[in-house]
Amino acid sequence: IMGGTKAEEGDWPWQVSLQWSSSHHCGGALISNRYILSAAHCFRSYSDPRQWIATFGTSTISPLQRVGVSSILIHDNYKPETHENDIALVQLDREVTFNRYIHTVCLPEANQAISPGSTAYVTGWGSQSYSGSTVPDLKQGRVNIISNTVCNAPAGYNGAVLSGMLCAGLPEGGVDACQGDSGGPLVQEDSRQHWFIVGIVSWGYQCGLPDKPGVYTRVTAYRDWITQKTGI
């Protein structure tokens, strides 16, 4: 995360580090005691579930729990060229034990409104500058939802942001997801202090540049797909 701050244990209890051969590769979000939501592009060249583990807690070096992966479900219509349908489900090989520091994030309804200008948080162990290296302690970044219209301005992504995608960042840049944050959650709080995952870190032009916010998979657009695959 660029321009973020250190997260404390229990701040984002649904945050998962997905590790390939025991080194952090992508983020993910715990949506049930067996399923993690992440991004399809994380698994493009890394598709063997036996090489993956999921860890919980704010430190990737000394995690609170480690769980193996039994299967990886990538969206059938994932298109790397256009980043369309950049969503995947990871099934764990056993149930996760919930406690104060590890439990699920809520999934939004398909029709849940995500208002431009509203506050959201993106979290991860990604680099803190473009082309930097991942970090061992979880970071959090406070961003604002940016409408697709604004995001697609010629100075922005000029139409590359499609309806299944969501932009978030700051107009002046500076706070953004970065390399290694992919697959991680963009979350918002509702009126009863419950937190919902509204985006999955997907792509963007470098990190934290003005007019080039982070682009996320819009989870509400895939709510039925998630139910169809997991029953949640």
What are the residues binding other proteins (CB under 8 A)? 10-14, 31, 98-100, 103-109, 112, 187, 190-196
Q: What ranges in 134-183 are assigned the alpha helix state H?
A: 148-151
User: Is residue 31 within 8 Å of 107, Cβ to Cβ?
Assistant: yes
Q: Looking at beta carbons only, is 109 or 137 nearer to other proteins? A: 109
Q: Looking at beta carbons only, is 30 or 90 nearer to other proteins? A: 30
For the chain, what percentages of helix, strand and coil (3-state, to nearest 5) are there? 10, 40, 50
- C-alpha to C-alpha distance for 154 and 89, rounded to whole angstroms: 33
Q: Looking at beta carbons only, is 90 or 105 nearer to other proteins? A: 105
Residue 209: CB atoms within 10 A of its CB come to 16
User: Is residue 217 within 8 Å of 200, Cβ to Cβ?
Assistant: yes
Q: Looking at beta carbons only, is 143 or 151 nearer to other proteins? A: 143
Residue entry with tokens 């208002």: 115
Nearest distance, CB of residue 216 and other proteins, angstroms: 17
Q: Nearest-CA neighbor of 84 among 162, 156, 155, 147?
A: 162
Residue 158: CB atoms within 10 A of its CB come to 10
